[in-house]
Every structure is written in C-alpha cells, then in structure tokens.
Amino acid sequence: MNPTQWNYALVSWRPDSVNGGDLAQSWDFPDPSTFEVHLRQGVYWQNIAPANGREFIASDVVYNYDRLYALAGFPGSPSQLTNAAYKKLISVTATDNFTVVFKWSIPNPTFILSTMEAPLGAAVDVENPEAIQQFGTPMSSWHDAIGTGPFILTDFVDNSSATFARNTNYFGHDERYPQNQLPYVDTLKILVIPDNATALSALRTGKIEAMGNIAVTDAQSLGKTNPDLVQIAIPQSYSNSIDPKGGVAPFTDIRVREAMQESINLPQIAQDYYLGTCSPDPSTMTSNNMGMGWGYPYSSWPASLKTQYAYNLTNAKALMAAAGFPNGFNTDVVADGGGDMGLLQIVQSDFAAIGINMTLRIMPTAQYATFVTTNHQQDQLSMRSSGYLGMTFDVDRQMQRFLTGANWSNFSDPTCDSLYAQSLTATSVTAYQSIFNQMNQYIAQNNFMISLVTTENYFYNQPWLKGFMAQDDSVVGNSGPRLIGFYCARYWIDQSEK
C-alpha cells in the first residue's frame, strides 16, 4: 500500500476502506449485522501430518470460531480469548466451501470489522482442525504447528530462536511484482538476544539483518559507528501519560488536572531529554498520526484548547489556588518499571514547581500488572509502560479504554459510557466515526489523563536486506510474531551488496 494513502508504519489499525484480504478474497455486509467472507481459493495447509497439504476451506474457519467461543454445541471455550466483543457473535456458518457467514447481535459494521481485524488479545488464529483433534489444545509442542503461511517452523528453542523454512506451496505472490511467488528467502531465523549490548554488537558486525526497539542514545551511537545501516524511526503506538485513579480527590477537579498538565514542559522534554527525536505535541485518546478523519489531531485543536495544554507555570499555580491548593499537596504514583523512569523523574520535578510533591513507587512490570491493572490498589496516580493516550490500534478498543469497568485506573465518566453505547448502535461508518471523534474531543477538553510525549522506536537493518520498513513493529518488536510470515515473506537479500 502507498503510505500516503494510509501510513501503516505509523498506525497499526486500518479502516476497512484501505484493507486487503489475506485468506479472505473479499467480504461484504448483506445487512449491518451479517458479515459475509469469501475465502481465497487455492490455499493449502502445509504438507505436514495430519493436514497433509489439503485445501483450506470454510469449515476450517467455522470449526475454530465455534470451538473458541462455545458456539454450535461446543461445551465451552478452551481458549483464553475472553474479549467482550465476541460475545456479540451469534453464529458462524459455511454456506459453501469458500463462503463464511458471521451473524452478530449488533448492527454495526465498523464494530464488527474492528473485532474481525483481530485486536491484540481477541484474535482468532485459524488452526488446522485435524491437528487440534489429534494433538489436543492447547498444543504443547511446536512440532504440531501447521499453518497456511509462507514459512514452516523447523526448529524452536525457547527464549533463544525460531527457525523457519520456505513453504514451497504458499499461495502468495508479491503485490509489487505479481509474477514472483513468495516467500523470497529459503530460511528465516528469529533470534531472542536478551542482552542489549550483545544484540547491538551482532547488528554492528553484520551477524543479524535487522533489530528493533532501539533506544535513542543507542541509535545515535549506531549512526556514528555504522553509518551504512538503514535507520527507521517509528512513533510508539501510544503516548506516555500520568493517570489519576478514578473518583479520587483532588484529581476529580479539572482545575487540578489542567494545572498538572500546564506544569509539564513538553517542548523541553522533547528537545532535551529525547534529543529532538519526538514531537512535543500532547495527545488525546487517539494518536495525532491517525488519518482520514479518524481522531482529533493536535493540529486541529482550537487555540483555547492548545492553551489548556501549554507550559504555563503562572497559570498552573493560579489554577491550583482556585482549586483550594495554593501551597500544593502531597501525592504518590505507582509506576511500571518497564516504562521510562527518567521521564517520570522529570515529571516529578515539574509537578514540584507548582507544589505537587509526588512520591515514586516503582514496581516490576508483573507486580505492577497485579497491583494496578488487576486489583486497582494504587492510591492516586499511576504510570504504565503504555499509556491511555495517543493510541493507534483498533478504534473500538480505544474507546473501551475509557469505558467504566474496562480500564486499569478505575476511570468512570457517564459521557464516555454514553458515547460508547451510541457507537455500538451506529449503522454506518460515518455515524461511528462522528461518535468516535466526539469522544476524542471530549477527552481532550477534560484533561482526564496528563498527556506526555509520544516517543519513537528505532529500527535498523543492513543495507542488503530489502523490503524491510519496520512494518507495524510486527516482526522484530513486541507485537510479533503474528505477522512474521506476512512481512518476512516479502524481504529479500541483495547478494551483490552483502
């Protein structure tokens, strides 16, 4: 896809108008609650027993959805996929070998497409029914993995590596060069290198082709030592934020929240701490990088709202006094240690300038997840490694983050709940988009979370690796390995450069 149409490198979610099929040739809505999928013909399971290379057909899709969501007589879901969106799925039927019909209890094409797009935590990977029946579920051995994709898993060492071989019977062809069958490479190896210095050394010496999630200081060093490496900067899929616990004073007062926002010098953080590598603009719920009328980008905010987010210590102190805190107050923040603790310390200093003395309580990620995300035991503020704001993933999941009972900060607001309920009844993309954008504007106007900057991930690849564009952080980043096959099938090695 031409990134000027939709920049998939910056935004992981895609509206249906720019989506193309993989196992699906096409799809349509005979009515707003019926999603009809027409499968691609000539797709075959990999030639591994017990699938033995048979054709992929509609009943394979039906079997997996019935099994995972306890439909059509299945006694209960053996999976951990508990996304509430799928509770609105009534039935899945194969009307012929290459047509699957999904019936929903909700007449909302955008919601259905967003759910079918497979948000993290709710995706359905269509597994081979014969393998499930023979090996059971969950499958405990990588030897039992059978897919329809471009690579066959040939070796796996936990926390070390995964090795794949070319599937010679893969249906895919390169969209740019339709005469070329995919994948290009014969062997693909994904390495897990826990030690960052070791990984960087392997990249510098050409022992690995690509590496992602590189910090800005390491990126600057690589630019000096290995100027031939190709650098790609991709904004994070979220903006950092400080999140007040719902219903806890004094953060229930918008004047306090606005004062906190105005005390933070975002331009200075972007320039001095992140060395000018990220935008200083604050975010509302949706990323400023979203396009085609989705979201509420900072560039479209009125001057009055931009002032509400601008660094202004004088006004911040006046707001604190008006809220009854002329001398400030003491608070604390529970922070995910996997996040940017240097940024948190800068925010702590900025808050102190208006009398807010914030004690830091930093926890390992797993402990934080239990303490805050699951049990909501934080007293007042929290900071997660991925915040509430500046999100780039599917739009329904973004709105759910601000739904009562569906977020880790116990945030609850009747207007957000009402807008989400309205979105579920929208029967057109235009209507849904309007509600989605209203929610973005409302969240920005009320400073529900304290917006920090959206940082960048750095990806590097060797000049001889072609076709690599850090696609969606899905190959070498934390979002993998779901799309390893799709993207890596389109990479190739220019032997003359290597």
In a domain, 219, yes or no: yes
- Kindly state whether residues 424 and 286 are assigned to the same domain: yes
In a domain, 116, yes or no: yes
For residues 94 and 182, membership in a common domain is answered with no
What are the contacts of 218-226 at 24+ separation with CB within 8 A?
A: 218/458, 219/277, 219/458, 219/460, 220/275, 222/460
How many angstroms separate the first and last alpha carbons of the chain? 27
pLDDT in tens, 430-447: 999 999 999 999 999 999
Top pLDDT among 15 and 59 is at 59
Mean pLDDT is lowest, of 45-59, 231-245, 430-444, for: 231-245
Average confidence (pLDDT) over 381-394: 89
Largest CA distance in the chain: 74
Strand order in the sheet with 24-31: 24-31, 34-39, 99-104, 89-96
Over residues 316-374, the pLDDT tens digits come to 999 999 999 999 999 999 999 988 999 999 999 999 999 999 999 999 999 999 999 88
Least-confidence region, from 71-75, 167-171, 258-262, 328-332:
71-75
Residue 80 banded pLDDT, cuts 50, 70, 90: very low
Least confident of 24-33, 125-134, 464-473: 464-473
Average pLDDT, the chain: 90
Torsion angles phi and psi, residue 295, rounded to 5: 100, -165
- Domain of 86: which CATH number? 3.90.76.10
- 329 within domain boundaries: yes
Tell the residue number behind the tokens 């094409």, with chain if given.
109
Question: What is the reported pTM?
Answer: 0.83
Residues 237/393, Cβ–Cβ less than 8 Å: yes
Does some domain include residue 476? yes
Q: Which residues contact 430 (CB under 8 A, 6 or more apart)?
A: none
Which residue would you say has higher pLDDT here, 176 or 452? 452
202 & 295 share domain: no
**How many Å apart are CA 361 and CA 150, to the nearest integer?**
46
Helices (H), 297-448: 303-309, 313-322, 341-352, 365-368, 395-400, 414-424, 429-446
What contacts 112, CB < 8 A, 6 or more positions away?
29, 33, 35, 102, 104, 106
Domain boundary among 135, 166, 201: 135
Average confidence (pLDDT) over 118-133: 75
Percent share of the chain, pLDDT over 90: 66
Instruction: Give the end of a domain, one of 135, 163, 185.
Output: 135
Q: Is the same domain home to 338 and 438?
A: yes
| Whether residue 196 is found in the same domain as residue 332 | no
Together in a domain, 47 and 107: yes
Please give the tally of structural domains in the chain. 3
Domain harbouring 368, CATH code: 3.10.105.10
Q: Do residues 416 and 285 both lie within one domain?
A: yes
Structural domain containing residue 52: 16-135
Reported as a pLDDT band with limits 50, 70 and 90, residue 11 is confident
pLDDT reported for residue 481:
62
